[in-house]
Structure 1
Amino acid sequence: MTIQWKGVMPAVTTKFTSNDTLDLVNFEVNIKAQIEAGVNGIILGGTLGEASTLTDDEKIVLIKKTIEIVDGKIPVIINIAEQSTKKAIEAVQKAEKYGANGFMVLPPMRYKADTRETTTYFKKIANSTTLPIMIYNNPVDYGIEVTLDMFAELAKCKNIQAVKESTRDISNITRMRNRFGNRFAILCGVDTLALESIVMGADGWVAGLVCAFPNETVAIYKLATAGRTKEAINIYRWFLPLLELDINTKLVQNIKLAEVATGIGTEYVREPRLPLIGEEKDQVLKIINNSIKTRPTLPSY
């Protein structure tokens, strides 16, 4: 399947039971809600997916189950976040074997690689597969920035096709366009900057709160790209308090609480994460409940 790097691509959560096993029933409920809302792809195994806590066998189960659920309607993209080049290539080959359509690749984990090491890492991964790749550029959380000069080197790999732009610098979209034109698709990776990024020319949105509010997320994207900016802004202003739950160290717990509130998830997380309690939980629920009470009626789009 060819990936069109555009539109809304949820970085989906992994559903667990109270016994800390995969909850494939609620996982399917959520994936189907995303498809029905009109998302353009599913991204598995990111931070929201608690990938660092999943076993290799669990990752395979999730890939196979997602491929089954989407049934060819949209691509399934696997996040690659490894500590070594060897492990990253193994993860790519394993995911490809089980039906992945493409990859979102982070820089090396833990070790802060320099420019040469980081570009070599990405290029070796790209050369290990023919499937398309999106580079995840998030120096705020991962400590390594993929600079424009590095992208110039990565452009030699034809299957490196897109970037998840999470530098928090909106002007970086214009810098990418000025230097590379449309060589790389650009997808916003920060929920609280999504509409601004789309207006500045981003092709899509790798979203988090979409896990709980898929229709609103897709509506913002489609209205904005149709030039109906005022309508998109009205929804986005309502959405912002929720979107800010994604810019938080407890983003997984926050978003899972929102999924519970909208009926398409559970709050179970895998340790060392723990469900929110007390005042912290009350504050998050207040935001969620207030937003649900004022949930907008979406226009046709």
Structure 2
Amino acid sequence: MVQKFGVDDLRGVVAVTPTPALPGAAELTARDTVDLGESDRMIRALVADGVDGIITNGTLGEMATLTLDEWQAFAACVSDAVSDTAPDLPLFVGATAPNTRDTVDRIRFLRDLGVRGVILGRPMWSALGADTLLAFYRDVAGLFPDMAIVLYDNPEAFKGPIPSGVYAELANVPQIIGAKYIAITPKFTADIAATGDRLRLLPLESDWLAAHTLHPEAALGCWSSSALCGPEPVLALRNAIGSGNVDTARHLTRRIEWTYEPFLARTNFPEFSKYNIALEKLRFDEAGYVTAGPARPPYHLVPEAYAEGARENGRRWRRLVGEVRERGS
């Protein structure tokens, strides 16, 4: 089968979703914790509101806490919802696992569902050297010539970033079409130079305008978990950047940054990474676009000061959604 998605399909707003949980999901003995009804509703809402792609089952999608049965049920639910509403929408379901054989089995399961995109981190029990990292992705891609792969480049989760030299090599693998990127630093420019137009680096939505200003031909999309607080601000930013309306894009970026001010991710990212699953779900629930539900163990515990910052982020984002709607009316 021919590969369905390519680099040019990675543009606009790629929403990053949680895996909604039923009440009681934080219990150690809980099983079958996925709220499949809310999962279906969430995906259909994102499609109806006009996002350009969907990523599931990264960190905040609780790939680390789902049982295999739960992950399979959620993946099938998401696949069915996308197939029913927007079969050509770029969809990338996470298949990261502690060992490569489990990753291979999960990608086979996705392919059998009809999913043609995967977001893929790497085994992280031990950090991978550059040669091992490169071999891992090449070997997995070689097994699945019809699957499009988005790299999950999270230095906290995977004990270091993907080196620029490795990016240059991975950009030559046809199945590897993009990367979910963490921050705009000088390395971003180096990685853009290494990958060219062969691999799309997706910054966070609040960094998108800066990335696009530096690299207008390359920075054509972003990832956004905040889209799950309500996608309107990010979609408005997409439209402003696409139309060259710099003043509106700057205004929206400033307002997005304002929503992040109380959020731990902005003040201490290493500390945030200890509690990110619970903090993300708290802000989603507070914003009200999706009912994310409780985090699953062991990541369900979070200091109250951090939790309140997340809730305030959700409240601010909800206010921003109202501003965007009013401005567009």
Q: What TM-score comes out, normalization by structure 1 length?
A: 0.88
Aligned length: 299
Give matches, 1:118-157, under 5 Å: 118-130=133-145, 131-157=147-173
Which residue does the alignment assign to 1:198? 212
The one-character-per-residue Cα deviations of 1:234-267 (angstroms, maximum 9, x if unpaired) are: 1222222434637223333333233323242143
CA contact (8 A) 2:124 2:159 kept: no
Which residue does the alignment assign to 2:122? 107
* Pairing partner for 1:217 from 221, 234, 237: 234
- Bigger shift: 170-179 or 128-137? 170-179
1:227 aligns with 2:244: yes
Aligned CA RMSD, in angstroms, stands at: 2.5
CA contact (8 A) 2:17 2:54 kept: yes
Which residue does the alignment assign to 2:224? 207
Residue 98 of structure 1: CA displacement?
Answer: 1.6
- Bigger shift: 55-64 or 285-294? 285-294
Residue 12 of structure 1: CA displacement?
Answer: 0.5
1:236 aligns with 2:253: yes
CA contact (8 A) 1:223 1:229 kept: yes
The structure-2 alpha-carbon separation of the partners of 1:73 and 1:265, relative to structure 1 and needing over 3 Å to count, comes to: farther
Q: Which amino acid aligns with 1:62?
A: F
CA–CA distance in structure 1, aligned partners of residues 159 and 152 of structure 2? 12
CA–CA distance in structure 2, aligned partners of residues 180 and 43 of structure 1? 21
The structure-2 alpha-carbon separation of the partners of 1:288 and 1:160, relative to structure 1 and needing over 3 Å to count, comes to: closer
1:292 aligns with 2:304: no
Structure 1, unaligned runs of 5 or more: none
CA–CA distance in structure 1, aligned partners of residues 303 and 258 of structure 2? 20
Q: Which amino acid aligns with 1:212?
A: C
The one-character-per-residue Cα deviations of 1:254-301 (angstroms, maximum 9, x if unpaired) are: 332333232421432212222657444334333433453454234559
Which residue does the alignment assign to 2:47? 35
The structure-2 alpha-carbon separation of the partners of 1:234 and 1:143, relative to structure 1 and needing over 3 Å to count, comes to: same
CA–CA distance in structure 1, aligned partners of residues 310 and 237 of structure 2? 23
- Give the secondary structure class of the aligned counterpart of 1:66: helix
Residue 119 of structure 1: CA displacement?
Answer: 0.5
The structure-2 alpha-carbon separation of the partners of 1:187 and 1:231, relative to structure 1 and needing over 3 Å to count, comes to: same
- Bigger shift: 71-80 or 291-300? 291-300
* Pairing partner for 2:291 from 246, 262, 265: 265
CA contact (8 A) 1:11 1:207 kept: yes
The one-character-per-residue Cα deviations of 1:106-154 (angstroms, maximum 9, x if unpaired) are: 1322211111111001100110102111222222442232222212322
The one-character-per-residue Cα deviations of 1:48-100 (angstroms, maximum 9, x if unpaired) are: 11111111121111111112112215132112322222222222212211222
Q: Which amino acid aligns with 2:324?
A: T
CA–CA distance in structure 2, aligned partners of residues 84 and 280 of structure 1? 32
1:17 aligns with 2:22: yes
